[in-house]
Amino acid sequence: MKTTSSQQGHTLIEKITAVVAGGFAAALQLPENLIRSDQEQLAAVKLDIEKLMQALNLYRQDNQRYPVTEQGLQALVSQPAITPLPANWKSGGYMEHLPCDPWGHPYQYLNPGVRGDMEIYSLGADDVLNSDDIDTDIRLLVTPGSW
């Protein structure tokens, strides 16, 4: 029995056309997905920094000062052993655990900051300080009076 071309399935040209059309459609959506991802990551950084600032403000209310750079954000989770020792550190801490940035790296903390009263920032996807890469630091300057 002979089969006709319509019974043999799709031709090579039809298959190539389908693959090219699918690739073209995916290429059109890719930049939109990348932009959305960057925006979501920045939103996550902002939300994390807001939570950290809330905890830092509670720390300051109890201890009349923010932790110094050497004590770091860890002072929100466990009582610092580095001076200046907090006078009224809250039993159980100010946060259960410290968040990581969207790339899985710890947030950085400076008090006093270089560009503001204090700084909490992410080193970005490349985890390198002040890189010129597209994945550079995300710094949101913090002035205690603004919170």
Identify whether 4 is part of a domain.
no
How many residues in the chain?
Answer: 147
Whether residue 1 is contained in a domain is answered as no
The answer to whether the predicted template modeling score (pTM) of the entire model surpasses 0.85 is: no
Domain harbouring 55, CATH code: 3.30.700.10
Each residue of 38-92: pLDDT tens digit? 788 888 888 999 999 999 999 999 999 999 999 999 999 999 999 999 999 999 9
Q: How many domains does the chain have?
A: 1
CA distance 141 to 72: 16
Residue 5 lies in a domain: no
Contacts of 43 by beta carbon, 8 Å cutoff, 6+ apart:
none
82 within domain boundaries: yes
How many other CB atoms sit within 10 Å of the CB of residue 72? 19
pLDDT value, residue 39: 81
The residue range of the domain holding 85 is 10-146
Instruction: Specify if 101 maps to a domain.
Output: yes
Residue 140 domain flag: yes
